[in-house]
Chains A and B, each alone.
Chain A
């Protein structure tokens, strides 16, 4: 996944904070598309440019593992040879039918805009009065519109000193992805 490039965002849009250099997430992901409703447990570990993303079904069955770094991505599935490519999205779609914008989700999952897409619209959480010294840019995002992707940050939880999303709903004209985080580890 590409690193953060400032010029992609519209003028005036500022990320609430820097992207996290490393994290580990346990949660659940659902995809709802035309004729498809899939849900899976998700385990996602990122360290710099290296990441390990696992989707698994009930009893840990049907696990799909995606291991990626800056250059390439490998997809592993039970009883199948490993397959690698440059782009995680295409690999996942071709081999599992799952359409997940993985490289953008790395940012949306953290409550940040994706540097891969322009920010066409955004809204921040309205915070109660007692934090009047909060600078507007520091408020967590409530909504983002990036190209065809509409992202709603529906729930947040506080992990150490950071506020991170615990429910993100990503909609696209052809599908809806719901991401729930049950545990953040930084």
Chain B
């Protein structure tokens, strides 16, 4: 059962956020902790459900949504697609960082806490069975999100470390739409 204190504490920590931007280092490792993929780039999310996740290394790959449309652009694959922003993507972990915490305690069972220096972590277990991951850990450093670690059904771990975190900065809205370069082969998904 959710430890209400944790859920409330996490919501309070996140609720003050209306925009969250950072550099990220992401590492995907398998059940034997062998690294399968490492990537890095920049991300920004705002609490009206808009997200920009720009991977720079090892590939240039962009995921952008304005809350209605979702663009995916793979530069080296020379491939782009635009489609409607589906709800299950709304549960992507990044969305939680945007301060969208209204239904947090319905969507997740939350445990964990932070100490007086606002360091610590929370573990979120999705309540729905068809979620994208088994559990999500959100780590805080002096009251700021410093990492997110996702576990999925295969014992795979996605470890995302954030740096240069900026919270509640004014954000230019056209960051959340995307126009593919001339001549890009774009698939419009119905």
Contacts and interface: CB of A to CB of B under 8 A. Distances in A.
B63 A58 contact: yes
B3 interface: no
Contacts of A35: 187
A30 B152 contact: no
A30 B76 CA distance: 10
A184 B150 CA distance: 26
Contacts of A39: 61, 72, 74, 77, 79
Nearest to B79: A30
B20 interface: no
B187 A32 contact: yes
Given A30-B79, A56-B28, A182-B58, A79 B129 contact: yes
B172 to A, nearest CB: 23
B154 A76 contact: yes
B183 interface: no
A41 B79 contact: no
Interface in B38-65: 38, 53, 58-59, 61, 63
**What is the interface residue range for chain B against chain A?**
35 or more
What secondary structure prevails in chain A residues at the interface with B?
A: strand
A140 to B, nearest CB: 20
Contacts, number: 93
A64 B36 CA distance: 14
A62 to B, nearest CB: 7
A61 B130 CA distance: 12
A3 interface: no
Contacts of A32: 79, 185, 187
B21 interface: no
A136 B157 CA distance: 46
Nearest to A52: B30
B177 interface: no
A28 B77 contact: yes
Given A63-B152, A182-B58, 8 more contacts: A28-B74, A32-B187, A59-B158, A60-B150, A61-B150, A78-B132, A79-B130, A180-B59
26 contacts: A26-B37, A26-B58, A28-B61, A28-B76, A30-B79, A32-B187, A37-B189, A39-B74, A39-B77, A43-B37, A56-B156, A58-B92, A59-B93, A59-B158, A59-B160, A60-B152, A60-B157, A62-B132, A78-B152, A78-B153, A78-B154, A79-B129, A180-B59, A180-B77, A182-B58, A182-B59
- Which 7 A-B residue pairs are closest in the complex by CB-CB distance? A30-B77, A182-B58, A37-B187, A60-B158, A43-B36, A61-B132, A37-B81
